[in-house]
Amino acid sequence: MPTNTKTPFFSFLYGLLISLYALVFMPRFFWKMSKAGLGLKPLLQRFGFGIPKNEKGIGAFWYHAVSLGETKAIAPLILEIQKQYPGVPTIITSTTDTGYKEAEKLFPKAIRFFLPLDFKWVLRPIVNFYLPKMIIFSETDLWYHLLQLGKNVHARTAVVSAKISERSQKRFLKYPALANKLFSQVDKILAQNETYLERYLTLGIPPSKLTVTGNLKYDVRYPAYTPEELQELRNRIGLQEGESLIVLASTHAPEEEWLIEKLSPLLATHPKWKVAVVPRHPHRFEEVAKLLPQPRCYSNPQETSSQWILVDTMGQLMKHFAIADVAVVCGSFKEIGGHNLLEPSVYKVPVLFGPHVFTQFEMEELLLKNKAGEKVILEELPSRITYLLEHPEERQAIGERGAALIASLQGIAKKTWQSLII
């Protein structure tokens, strides 16, 4: 796959597509950012205005992670590189409010901004100012002009924890010139598994660029909470001694409605069982609050007791997993593709998930193979939750197997870094 950066006609057509993308999606982007309390800053930065210019960032490692999951996943790699290069600055770009806020929380000293739209005239002054040493993309979100401008200033470029869906593979095979122009700008593609590597190979990418290093989401350093912190959380959400907690993680519309319908009869017959609902997107907190039967909200705890808890504050999911008895990872009952299925296992919590986990198929295989989680259809969910809550020894055994699985998956960040410097 030869490198060819002199493609003005292609660049012009690509720019037209980005313009169309901006016209269609930027109004909704602005609406979501406003709902998240970020105001105009994200929209202005997407068009190159208000980008921080800090001379201490020159020669940085530039990481692009779209959203919350990708930002959490790439964090161990950032920490590994910071350990190896303590004096080299860090730039982190995002395209979602959750990703931006997670980067702010994890790396407060890094230079952070919303990635501008992939126009050359917008990105060129930013790339030329910072002269990044390396530009690292997480998973799938590649941008042609950013890659090209990075190569122009001699930055190394890489995709880590890389994956490619069958749909994207077929699209690139249909338009091989597009694949050639995009991937010829990438020095390294470090794939999550052999399946993704084989898909990349079908696109004509040289094998020398490709390596399987694993999924960085497996190597995340999750927080350890003190008994006092966990008791404070129990008090806040009204979870009493002897009560059990079911966490519905990363829910999407209309999953909340489906789950309320299925679990309400269960709660009616088990008054000591409670359900914490954690919506995937913060702009839906108010919407979900109206769906739940008189919920107790995390952000505004009240003395009133309720079996339904709405976790309406970002960054609280892992702590709720730490006190949960059963976790249900959503985005899997609707055809979203699922989210991180392994996170509850960090805290020895059995994992249930729906049939639509096509973006997390490797996690699904790991959980099922190690008997640390179960795939269920919506109709089966009440009976599986009931079984787990009524059989504490089996629940504990599943949780222990999950924790052992997590321990066996550590070290991917170090392996990824070693592959990047070869």
Strands (E), 163-258: 188-191, 210-212, 244-251
- 173 Cβ contact list (under 8 Å, min separation 6): 179, 202, 203
Domain encompassing residue 66? 8-219
Alpha helix segments (H runs only) across 131-221: 144-152, 166-174, 176-183, 194-201
Indicate whether 300 and 398 sit together in one domain: yes
> Which of 219, 253, 275 represents a domain boundary (last residue)?
219
**CATH number for the domain harbouring residue 383:** 3.40.50.2000
pLDDT at 266: 96
What total number of domains does the chain contain? 2
Task: Tell me if 15 is assigned to some domain.
Answer: yes
Is there a single domain that holds both residue 386 and residue 367?
yes
Other Cβ atoms within 10 Å of 388 Cβ, number: 21
Of residues 133, 116, 135, the one with CA closest to residue 124:
116
| Cis peptide bond upstream of 301, omega within 30 | no
- Which of left, alpha, beta for 411 (phi over 0: left; psi -120 to 50: alpha)? left
Q: Which pLDDT value is given to residue 2?
A: 41
User: How many Å apart are CA 41 and CA 25, to the nearest integer?
Assistant: 16
Is 49 a domain residue?
Answer: yes
**CA 143 – CA 133 distance, rounded (Å):** 17
Same domain for 130 and 60: yes
The reported pLDDT for the residue numbered 94 is 95
CATH no. for residue 51?
Answer: 3.40.50.11720
Amino acid symbol at 202: T
- With respect to residue 422, please indicate whether it lies within any of the assigned structural domains: no
* pLDDT tens-digit profile, the chain (422 residues): 444 445 687 888 888 989 998 888 888 888 888 888 888 999 999 999 999 999 999 999 999 998 888 999 999 999 999 998 998 999 999 999 989 999 999 999 999 999 999 999 999 999 999 999 999 999 988 999 999 999 999 999 999 999 998 999 999 999 898 899 999 999 999 999 999 999 999 999 999 999 999 999 888 778 899 999 999 999 999 999 999 999 999 999 999 999 999 999 999 999 999 999 999 998 899 999 999 999 999 998 876 789 999 999 988 999 999 999 999 999 999 999 999 999 999 999 999 999 999 989 889 999 999 999 999 999 999 999 999 999 999 999 999 999 999 999 989 999 999 999 86
Residue 300 and residue 175 share a domain = no
Least Cα distance to 337 among 260, 384, 292, 280 occurs for 280
Q: Is residue 415 part of a domain?
A: no
Task: Please give the pLDDT value at position 1.
Answer: 46
Task: Tell me: do 301 and 348 sit in the same domain.
Answer: yes
- The answer to whether residues 169 and 232 belong to one domain is no
State whether 203 and 75 are in the same domain.
yes
Q: For residues 339 and 249, is the Cβ–Cβ distance under 8 A? A: yes
User: What's the distance, Cα to Cα, between the start and end of the chain in Å?
Assistant: 20
* Spatial CB neighbours of 387, under 8 Å, sequence gap ≥ 6: 394
Residues 212 and 273 in one domain: no
pLDDT, position 309: 97
Same domain, 85 and 170: yes
Same domain assignment for residues 138 and 20: yes
